Structure 1
Amino acid sequence: MVVGAFMKDVIVAGRVPEGVTEKDLFGGVSHKPLLDLPHDYDMKTALAPHIERADGFVVLPGSDPLLTTSLLIGYQFQNPEVRGKPMVIYSPDDKPSPYVELIQTLRERGFVHQPEEQFYTVAKTIAEIPEKLNNGFGVPSGPKVEGHEDDPVYKDLVDRINREGASKTRPERNVAVFCSASNKNPHYLNMARETGQMLADNGYGMVFGGSNVSMMGEVAAGVHDRGGYVTGVTIPLFFGKEVQADQDKIDIDNIRIVSDIYERMHTMIDESDALVVLPGGIGTAQEMLAVMHMRDQDPELAAKPVVLYSEGGFWHGLQQMMEEYGYKEGVHFNVVDNQKDLNKVLDDGIPPANNAKPAGDTPPTAKRLASGPDIAPLRPRNPSANGRQPKDPKADRRTSARPVEAPRQRRAP
C-alpha cells in the first residue's frame, strides 16, 4: 500500500532521463514538481526557503550539487527543514550516483557516523522511485537532534586573542583552508598540520573557520609552528563550543565573529587569495560547492585558485558530482594528492606579494559584538550581486596579474 499518496511539492533535482514522465517519477500521484532556482540564486535568501517549502526530493543525474549537499547536511543533523521528508537518489548499478559514493567514502574514513538510510533511499531504477518517495512522506529518517542555544561569546577572550595577535603582521597573501572539525584520525590530523607548516614556510597567512579542534586546530597549529599568521572566522555558536570551551591552546592571531555560516564563507573567501579544501565531512563538501557557486557570479573570485586535496581519491565522489554539473578539473578547480603539488598550484596561481598589511586593518571583532548577535558585515554588500560588492577590476592586482577566466556555463537540462 502506498502511504501519503496525495499531492506534495517535490523538488526534482537534475536532468530527467529522456522519455521519463512525471507519472513515471510520481506513480500517478499528482505531485507538483518545484521549479529550479535561477542560476544566480543567493544561498542565504533563496536556497534555504526552497528546501523548506518542499515535501520531498528526487535526485537525478546532473542535480545542483550545492542543493543536494545542503540536503545531506540537513539529514545528518535532522534539521526541521528536512525531517520527515523523503530523499530518493536515482543510482543505477551501471552508473552509481556520486552522492551515494560521497557518503560511503565519508563513512568509511570516519567523517560521517550516521547510517546511510538516515540520509536517503536509493532507487536503482526509475520504476522504484514512486513507491520509495510516497512511502517516505512523514517518516523521520533518524533520531531528532536537539538544538543548542548559542553559547555566550565572551568578549574578554575575543579581545585577548586579538590583543595578543596585534603585534604580528598579517601577510598580504592569504590562503583559505576548509577541513574537518570532528575527525580524530592521526593521519588526517598530521596532514592538516603539515599543510599549515607548508603555508607558513612559503610566506602565506591562513584564513580558516576559527576552531581549535580536530583538523582545523591542527592546520592552525602548523602555521604557528613556523611563526605564521592565522585569521579565524566563525559564528557565536561555534566560537563557544570550539574555542571558548577549550582555551589551553588557541593558534589564532585575529578572530572574527560573523552572524551566520553564509557570512562566514563569504568572509573567508573575501579575505583570501586562494582556497584549499582538505579532507572533511559533508560540511566541508558544501563549503567547496559554495565556493564554486559564488565563483560563477564573481569574476574576482574566478581569478583565485581553488584546490581540492584528494589524497587516495578521497574527494572522488565530490569531483564526480561537480563534473556532472559542469565544473571541470583544470578549468574551474585543481586536484592534488600531495603537499608538493599543492604548493606548486598555489605558487603558480597567487601573484607575488607587494606590501604586507598590518594586523590592525580589520577592527577587533569585539567592537562588532557590542550591538548583539546581529553583527555588521566586514564590507558593504550589494544584494543584486549575491551579497557581494563588485570592485573596479582595474584597481585589483589579481585581475591585472593574469586573465580572469569566464564563469562556468551551466549545462542545458
Structure 2
Amino acid sequence: MPKVRLSGTVRGTDDPGREVRARLLYLLFSKGWDIYNSNGDQRITLSNIERKIIESEAFVFTPGATLEDMFKAISIFVGYQTIDRNLAGKPTVILNTDGSWNPFFAVLDHLNRMGTIKQDHRDFLLAAEHPEGVLDTLEMVRMKGLPDAGREKIGESKATSFEEPVPDDYIANVCVFCSATLEEPFYLADGESLGRQLAENKMGCVSGAGRSGIMGAVVEGSVGAGGWTAGSNVPHIIELEGLPDGLSSFWLRPDIYTRMEVMIENSDAFVIFPGGAGTVQELLALMIFKRQKNPLMTGKPVVLFNRLNPAGVRFWDPLIGLLKTFCDPGDFAIAETLDEILPAIRSGLVEKQPAGA
C-alpha cells in the first residue's frame, strides 16, 4: 500500500481537531493508504527527517498548526524548490479546517511578493478545507503529477569536505541565513558589508555556502577581508547554485537537515538576513531548538535583520508576527539597520556568558 505521513498531534480527548483527524484516518485507510504517525506521537529530528521523507509517498498536515508542523511543511516546500529527488512526485496536502495555517501561508505570499520565493506555494503545498478534499487532492496529484519548480542544474557537484581551524583570537562564529536568489544591489551591499564586519571584528562567518545572491555577497565580504569563512551545502543544491571561492572550511552533507545541523553546531550566534523559504526553514529550526532548550542553542543569540526596502516595507514583518504567537521574549532580537546587528550579537553573547567571563 502507498504510505502517507501524517503531521500534527492530538492533544487529548478535548482536542477540537480530534474528530477531523479521525475522519481523515478513516478515509485514508478506506482508500488504501497506509498511515505513518496516525497517533501524532512520532518525533522528527534534523537527523532523521530525510529518512522519514524517503519512507513516504505523500504528506498530509492536519489542523492546529504548530511551529514544528510549519517547519516540516516549509522543509518539504524547500525540497520541491531544490529538486530533491526524494520528493519527486510526492504530494503534500494541508488540511486547514481551522484556519491555523493562514499566517504561515501569509508569510509565503509575502516572500513571493518580495521576490525570494519564485514559485506559488499553492501549487506545491495543496490546501484542503475538509478531509474528503485531502483524498481528492492526493488522487489528483497521482494522476497529474506536481508542477516543475522552474530550476535547472548549472553543473555536476564534485565537492568534498575540508576544514581549517578557527583562529585562536576569534571571539565567535556567526551563522548568516539568507537568500541565494536576491540580486538587488542594496541587498548585496548589505551582505558584503556584514561579511566584512564579521572578519574585521574577529568573528567567523558561517553560511549555506551559496555562490549567488546575498549568500554569495556575505561570503565575498568575509573572504575579501581575510576572515575565517565556512559553510555547508548538499550535492543537489550545489548543482543548482555552485559554491563560492575562498572558503576556509566546507562541510558537505547529504541533505538540507544535516546541513543545518552542522551549521548550528559550528556557530555561536545567528543572523537572519532577507531570504526565502530556506531561510524561514532555518529560523524555525532555531526557534524550535530554543523552545526545547536544546543544548545546540544554549547561549546563542538570534538576530533578525528586518530591513526596510525602498518601497517602505520591512522584510520580516509577517514572520515576526507569526513567531510572536509561538516564541518567548528573548528568543530572538530584531535589528532594523545594518549597524544594529553586531551590537545585538555582542549583547546576546555577553548576556549568555558565565559570571566572570
TM-score with structure 2 length normalisation? 0.75
* Correspondence for 1:257 among 239, 251, 254: 251
Alpha-carbon distance in 1 for matches of 2:258, 2:172:
21
What residue number does 1:267 align with? Answer: 262
1:86 correspondence with 2:91: yes
1:99 correspondence with 2:118: no
What residue number does 2:310 align with? Answer: none
* Greater displacement, 10-19 / 134-143: 10-19
What residue number does 2:64 align with? Answer: 61
Q: How does 1:210-289 map to 2 (within 5 A)?
A: 210-224=209-223, 226=225, 228-235=227-234, 250-252=245-247, 254-260=248-254, 261-289=256-284
Q: Are the counterparts in 2 of residues 12 and 33 from structure 1 also a CA contact under 8 Å?
A: no
Aligned length: 337
TM-score with structure 1 length normalisation? 0.67
1:327 correspondence with 2:327: yes
User: Which string of whole-angstrom CA distances, capped at 9 and with x for unpartnered residues, describes residues 290-322 of structure 1?
Assistant: 333444353352211112223344334544554
* Correspondence for 2:115 among 88, 110, 116: 110
What residue number does 1:48 align with? Answer: 50
Alpha-carbon distance in 1 for matches of 2:239, 2:138:
39
Q: Give the match's secondary structure for 1:84.
A: coil
Q: How does 1:192-203 map to 2 (within 5 A)?
A: 192-203=191-202
Q: Are the counterparts in 1 of residues 82 and 237 from structure 2 also a CA contact under 8 Å?
A: no
**Deviation (angstroms), 1:278:** 1.0
| Structure 2 unaligned spans of 5+ | 308-312
- Amino acid in the other structure paired with 2:189: N
What residue number does 1:151 align with? Answer: 157
Q: 1:239 to 1:8 in 2, by over 3 A?
A: closer
* Greater displacement, 175-184 / 74-83: 74-83
Q: Are the counterparts in 2 of residues 210 and 231 from structure 1 also a CA contact under 8 Å?
A: yes
**Deviation (angstroms), 1:29:** 4.9
**Deviation (angstroms), 1:263:** 4.1
Alpha-carbon distance in 1 for matches of 2:17, 2:6:
18
| Structure 1 unaligned spans of 5+ | 1-5, 353-397, 403-413
Q: Are the counterparts in 2 of residues 152 and 240 from structure 1 also a CA contact under 8 Å?
A: no
- Amino acid in the other structure paired with 2:64: P
Q: Are the counterparts in 1 of residues 21 and 62 from structure 2 also a CA contact under 8 Å?
A: no
* Greater displacement, 217-226 / 14-23: 14-23
* Correspondence for 2:127 among 122, 127, 139: 122
**Deviation (angstroms), 1:85:** 3.5
- Amino acid in the other structure paired with 1:56: F
Alpha-carbon distance in 2 for matches of 1:169, 1:219:
22
1:301 correspondence with 2:297: yes
**Deviation (angstroms), 1:119:** 1.3
**Deviation (angstroms), 1:224:** 4.7
Q: Give the match's secondary structure for 1:400.
A: coil
Q: Give the match's secondary structure for 2:54.
A: helix
- Amino acid in the other structure paired with 1:105: H
Q: 1:90 to 1:204 in 2, by over 3 A?
A: same
Q: Give the match's secondary structure for 1:308.
A: strand
- Amino acid in the other structure paired with 2:104: Y
User: Which string of whole-angstrom CA distances, capped at 9 and with x for unpartnered residues, describes residues 133-176 of structure 1?
Assistant: 55444542213778898522389xx79xx6xx99x766132211
Alpha-carbon distance in 2 for matches of 1:174, 1:200:
10
Q: Are the counterparts in 1 of residues 152 and 240 from structure 2 also a CA contact under 8 Å?
A: no
Q: How does 1:144-183 map to 2 (within 5 A)?
A: 150-153=156-159, 171-183=170-182
* Greater displacement, 140-149 / 182-191: 140-149
